[in-house]
């Protein structure tokens, strides 16, 4: 199981249905696409809505969490597994009991939203690898609409070894991409 997410230097995570820094940052996306390749993407419903249609269509199977019934099942012809997952502790049990032949051999990548990432950071023991991108804007502050506590994010440093950061600069941002793996 993998986890991938990005935050600003003050934990900024989301802003009114999109990213705090606006459009996705190319260097971050390159890492993200590679890190999530061939994985079943796991996300909250609003994260699903935030993805461009081209990205939505890329994935054959997704897990989208909802507290509603099966409203989104087979939405736009995609195979969705929609589940009310109120107990994050039972995440692996939940995934292993999914219908349609998915089991623990399937590799998953959790990508958001904020509550799901926060819960994930409190249960890092279930993850084999985490991708975290830190975005530092050069000329302005990112909106603080939806944030993730930096004290939770620093759990990555104590829970994993072999950190291998990549640094990028463009006109607007300095970006640090860290891939965390277990030994």
Ligand X SMILES: NC(=O)c1ccc[n+]([C@@H]2O[C@H](COP(=O)([O-])OP(=O)(O)OC[C@H]3O[C@@H](n4cnc5c(N)ncnc54)[C@H](OP(=O)(O)O)[C@@H]3O)[C@@H](O)[C@H]2O)c1
Q: Which residues bind ligand X (CB under 6 A)?
A: 5-6, 13-14, 17-19, 43-47, 50, 65-68, 84-86, 111-116
Distance in angstroms (rounded) separating the CA atoms of residues 121 and 125: 9
Least distance to ligand X, CB of residue 157, Å: 18
Cβ closer to ligand X: 84 or 183? 84
Q: How far is the CB of 56 from ligand X (least distance, A)?
A: 13
CB nearer to ligand X: pick between 57 and 67: 67
Residue 67 or 144 with smaller CB distance to ligand X: 67
In whole angstroms, give the CA distance from residue 137 to residue 150. 17
Q: d(Cα 110, Cα 91) in Å, to the nearest integer? A: 11
Given the structure tokens 């023991």, which residue do they identify?
125
Helices (H), 84-162: 91-96, 114-122, 150-153, 155-159
The distance of closest approach from Cβ of residue 28 to ligand X in the complex, given in angstroms and rounded to an integer, is 8
């Amino acid at each position: 199981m993998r986890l991938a997410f990005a935050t600003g230097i003050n934990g900024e995570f989301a802003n009114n249905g999109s990213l705090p820094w606006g459009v996705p940052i190319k260097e971050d996306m390159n890492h993200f696409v590679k890190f999530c390749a061939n994985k079943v993407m796991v996300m909250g419903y609003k994260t699903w809505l935030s993805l461009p249609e081209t990205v939505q269509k890329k994935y054959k199977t997704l897990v989208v969490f909802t507290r509603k019934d099966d409203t989104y099942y087979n939405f736009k012809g995609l195979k969705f597994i929609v589940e009310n997952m109120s107990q994050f502790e039972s995440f692996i049990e939940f995934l292993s009991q999914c219908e349609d032949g998915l089991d623990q051999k399937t590799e998953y990548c959790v990508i958001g939203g904020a509550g799901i990432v926060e819960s994930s950071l409190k249960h890092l023991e279930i993850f084999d690898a985490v991708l975290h991108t830190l975005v530092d804007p050069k000329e302005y502050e990112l909106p603080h609409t939806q944030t993730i506590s930096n004290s939770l994010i620093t759990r990555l440093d104590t829970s994993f070894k072999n950190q291998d950061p990549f640094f990028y600069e463009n006109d607007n941002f300095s970006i640090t991409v860290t891939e965390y793996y277990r030994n």
